[in-house]
Amino acid sequence: MKAHTISESVYCLHADIDTTDLFEGIWPIPYGVSLNSYVVKGEKTVLIDLVRDWTGAPKQLEEELAGIGIAFSDIDYLILNHLEPDHTGWLGEFMKLNPKAEIIATAKGVELVKSFYKISEGLRAVKTGDTLDLGAGRILHFIEAPNVHWPETMITWEPASGTLFTCDAFGSFGKLGDRVFDDQFDSAEHAFFEKESLRYYANIVSSFSVFVERAVKKLEGLAIKCVAPSHGLVWRRDPTKIIERYLRYARYMNGPAEKEIAIIWGSMYGNTRTGLDAVIKGIEEEGVPWSIHRVPNEDVSFVLADAFKSAGVVLAMPTYEYAMFPPMAYAIDIMRRKHVHGKTVLRIGSWGWVGGAKKEYEAAIADLKWTSLESKEWAGAPSQSDLAELEARGRELARAVKNA
């Protein structure tokens, strides 16, 4: 692949990661992910964000740099907007190739360079308002954006080209191939990246939604012509689109979420599924869109994305050994950790010889700020009256979502 020109002397480089490895060791990336880096050239040359040694990413970076006549040893400054190792894992090797490069990060970022990579020289800490003059009219400005995604995160702004280098903020899963800019992808491809940006947000960023809103506030007044994140598309035709999308995601936490219902279910021998079908019938009678995920068959990464965006949630699970169905307990725990707040929720399920999920369930959701409809449990196979009641609960949930 080659470097892409954003503007004169401003380039996007990227490594596509295509792997069965899990992102952060947790999240599947069946459609890959890109690690984007950027070059800004004045009289001095800066590289913004690095890669980890993952499916040949350093080699890709080296080749793309060579395509614009730059070697690693030509880099004067390495800006690390964020220290998570997907963007810094190769730092030790880079510094061996170019020991004179100065590393620039926030004060907290500098501490992480020391702790992760045992590098203690050639470090410069910057804060909001600080600048770096590259000569030839190129001045970089730094804006701290803590907790988007880690506490040390910052955004780099280059006003001459109007480019905002945002690292994780405004990023997405999904590899890019030979194109990087939003105007190079058709509407079907944009629909794909919208899904993968939501999943990326729900998996990686959602816990920090309040900080996303604060970071976006700090960008007011900038004449942004290009949003250049370190994962996913580079937005030059419609840079505000991804910013507005992220704001919408951030606000799902406290509403309004989408008027949709995410159904998460598990069933041991089909009785809970039979009851769920009656709930779905009720939801469909009210015409509310729904998505459905079976646990543990589907990875919680995908469950989380639909639960995060939907105003309503159905949790359908059998009682398992006096407690919750274990894969559902895990899904709820992930939703708690990722701040899937403010949902209207219906819990249903079959029990065998005795119930018992209720106590554990209520403790698990205590911090989630959910509005719970009356739950419905039944012994063994659902009776006709159980099914009628479940259908009514489906209608009730759907009406609550419509009126949210």
The least distance separating ligand FEO from the CB of residue 118, rounded to whole angstroms, comes to 20
CB 215 to ligand FEO: min, Å: 14
Based on CB atoms, which residue is closest to ligand FEO, 89 or 349? 89
Which CB atom, from 151 or from 355, has the smaller least distance to ligand FEO? 151
Q: What are the C-alpha distances in Å from 255 to residues 94, 130, 263, 273, 369?
A: 44, 36, 18, 29, 11
Closest CB to ligand FEO among 9 and 60?
A: 60
User: What is the rounded distance in angstroms from the CA atom of residue 119 to the CA atom of residue 111?
Assistant: 10
CA distance 210 to 207: 8
Provide the binding-site residues for ligand FEO, judged by CB under 6 A: 82, 84, 86-87, 149, 168, 230-231
Q: How far is the CB of 192 from ligand FEO (least distance, A)?
A: 19
- Smallest CA-to-CA distance from 196 within 175, 169, 166, 227 is with 175
Q: How far is the CB of 212 from ligand FEO (least distance, A)?
A: 13
Q: Taking the complex as a whole, how short is the minimal distance between the CB of residue 60 and ligand FEO, in angstroms? A: 16
DSSP state, residue 208:
G
Euclidean distance between CA atoms 85 and 52, whole angstroms: 6
Report, in angstroms and rounded to the nearest whole number, the Rg of the chain calculated over CA atoms.
Answer: 24
Taking the least distance from each CB to ligand FEO, the nearer of 150 and 181 is 150
CB of 86 to ligand FEO, least distance (A): 4
82 or 199: whose CB is closer to ligand FEO?
Answer: 82
Token couple for 151:
């506490």
Task: Beginning with the edge strand found earlier in the chain, give each strand of the sheet holding 33-41 in spatial order.
Answer: 4-7, 10-17, 33-41, 45-48, 77-79, 102-106, 123-126
Q: How far is CA 160 from the centre of its chain?
A: 29
Between residues 53 and 285, which has the closer beta carbon with respect to ligand FEO? Answer: 53
Four-point Cα dihedral 299, 198, 189, 30, nearest 10: -20
CA–CA gap between residue 196 and residue 160 (Å, rounded): 31
Task: Please say which residue, 72 or 200, places its beta carbon nearer to ligand FEO.
Answer: 200
Q: Nearer Cβ to ligand FEO, position 50 or 263?
A: 50
- The rounded distance, in Å, linking the Cα atoms of 59 and 173 is 21
Pairing between β-strand 22-23 and β-strand 27-28 as defined by DSSP bridges:
antiparallel
> What are the structure tokens assigned to 107, written together?
């004060």
Q: Taking the complex as a whole, how short is the minimal distance between the CB of residue 93 and ligand FEO, in angstroms?
A: 19
- In 10 A of CB 370, how many CB atoms? 18
Q: How far is the CB of 112 from ligand FEO (least distance, A)?
A: 12
Tokens 């939501």 belong to: 198
Peptide bond connecting 296 to the previous residue in cis, omega within 30 degrees of 0: yes
**Strand segments (E) across 187-297:** 226-229, 258-265, 290-294
Cα–Cα distance between 40 and 33 in angstroms, integer?
Answer: 23
Q: Please identify the residue of the shown chain whose CB is closest to the bound ligand FEO.
A: 84
Please report how close the Cβ of residue 341 comes to ligand FEO at its closest, in angstroms: 22
Token code pair at residue 139: 């001045």
Considering the complex, state which of residue 168 and residue 182 has its C-beta at the smaller distance from ligand FEO.
Answer: 168
**CB of 243 vs ligand FEO, minimal distance in Å:** 18
Residue 86 or 389: which CB sits closer to ligand FEO? 86
Q: How far apart are CA 113 and CA 228, in angstroms?
A: 23
